[in-house]
Amino acid sequence: MAAMDKITGQLFNAGSGALQKKNYDFAVDCFFKCAKRCPDNVMFRQALRGAEYKKYNNNGKGAMMAGLKMKPAQMKLKAAKTRKRWAEAAEAAEEALKINPWDTGVLSELATCLQEMEHYPAAVWVMQSATSADPKNADLFKLLADMYEANNQFDEAINALEMVRRLNPENREAGGRMRQLAARATLTKQGVDESQESDEEGDGEAGEGEAAKPQPKAATRLSPEEIAERELRELEAKVKENPDDASTLGDLARRYRQQCKYEQAAKAFGRLYDLSDQTETDMKAQQLECTIEPLKIAQGKIKEAFSKLIRNAPDYMERAQKLKEKQRAIQVEQTKKELELFRFQTEINAENYAAHFELGFRLLQTRQYDEAIRALQEGCKDAKKKPEALMWTGVGFWKKKNYPLADRKLKEALESLSPGDDESRKQIYYYRGCVAQEKKDVDAAMEYFNEIAAMDYGYKDVAKRLEELAAQQEA
């Protein structure tokens, strides 16, 4: 990391002072200059991002009309990347982030630029910021795993790939990479040079007049999968010998999970939870997660089976119906287990508002509307979840036939959206239209469905609903 010179130190102190006085614009400018002068310094970027978050009151979306305001900086970023001027590109990315520090696209671009400049710790930190801004984006976690791997942080890369697999159970590449990285981590810890395919040539050559010495036979080189399996067996033997050793049992539980052995992992995490007298709540959460993962994978396999069905085949309808029934049964079981997980998370931490949201959404799916509404109202306290939580709260009131509160919450959800979030906008207008139509307010329903039609006429059954409403107006 580059040393902080006198000017950079003065800029950092000035920025820190401005931050205390809530002069956020000046603080951002000072920290931006620090990051420009020392691009590999993680602390400067952390200070810069913190000042930007405070400037926008942690609203998760930055300035008004941020997308439009960021365009000039994004164009500079693109041009600099094309010419492979990575320092210029990183500077342009930071200019864009001054307007919206939560933009995951720009954060990813910045991380890539820093990686190209071989500033790996800074690249990793920026990519971590991107995953925090959009924790349900599997592609971001995949990029984070790539950067961890480039920085030889194999355990962290495995954890990032575990998130990829959770978010996208159909991604089978993640499991294979996790096993390979686990083996690489072991080889690195043991000081083995993976690039060494054979003994160095010449070591066994005899000198003039000397008899050639027989060389020892090279050991058979194990594949990463074989190494991972061998380590697993060693851990199992250690746990069998000392079943109350929480440290070894924890290593075994995590290894089971990395290798997709979810049933064994769940048992191991459950045992850890019991060994801690039920104080290590993370172990219980991981146990529950391991009961959910196989169901997600099963859902992915059903989707794959659907994609392979031939529509013109004589047995298409029969096979499709069987898959749908199987899918419904798995979804019911998955929702049941997810309810248990998120209920547990809210019980151990009442301020885990993201968990309240997830709990409320599943309660809504299972038609437990009163409890769902209460949980979703808590979920509204999570800034990132607020628009969606408000929307589903409105849907909950709609299902209870409380139309005034339903429309009020849906209106609040609409007002809380970021500019450019058209998919969420269409969804909220759709529910507002359904509420209006159900309470026989034809004019309001027409207005909401027309808003959707102006953006996407083929959205759900909007066209059909508009025809029905038009017929009612004429009657």
427 domain-assigned: no
Q: What is the pLDDT of residue 300?
A: 84
Nearest to 348 by CA among 293, 340, 254: 340
What's the average model confidence in pLDDT over 18-24?
Answer: 91
307 closest CA partner among 323, 330, 293: 323
For the chain, how many structural domains are there in total?
A: 1
For residue 24, is it within any domain? Answer: yes
CA distance 460 to 5: 60
What is the percentage of the chain residues whose pLDDT exceeds 70?
90
pLDDT, residue 4, reads 65
* 416 assigned to some structural domain: no
Closest to 295 in 3D by CA, of 358, 344, 338: 338
> Is 128 a member of any domain?
no
Considering the domain boundaries, does residue 34 fall inside one?
Answer: yes
How many Cβ atoms from other residues are within 10 Å of residue 4's Cβ? 17
Two tokens, residue 322: 């069987």
Strand, helix or coil for residue 217: coil
Sign of CA dihedral 91, 93, 96, 99: negative
C-alpha span between 283 and 263 (Å, rounded): 14
pLDDT at residue 361, as a whole number: 96
Question: Is residue 183 included in any domain, yes or no?
Answer: no
The pLDDT of residue 230 is above 90 = no
Specify the range with the lowest mean pLDDT, choosing from 102-116, 183-197, 262-276.
Answer: 183-197
Instruction: With respect to residue 70, please indicate whether it lies within any of the assigned structural domains.
Output: no
Residue 457 lies in a domain: no
Return d(Cα 343, Cα 329) in angstroms, integer: 21
Note the pLDDT of residue 221: 62
- Mean predicted confidence (pLDDT) in 167-196: 68
Which domain range does residue 33 map to? Answer: 1-58
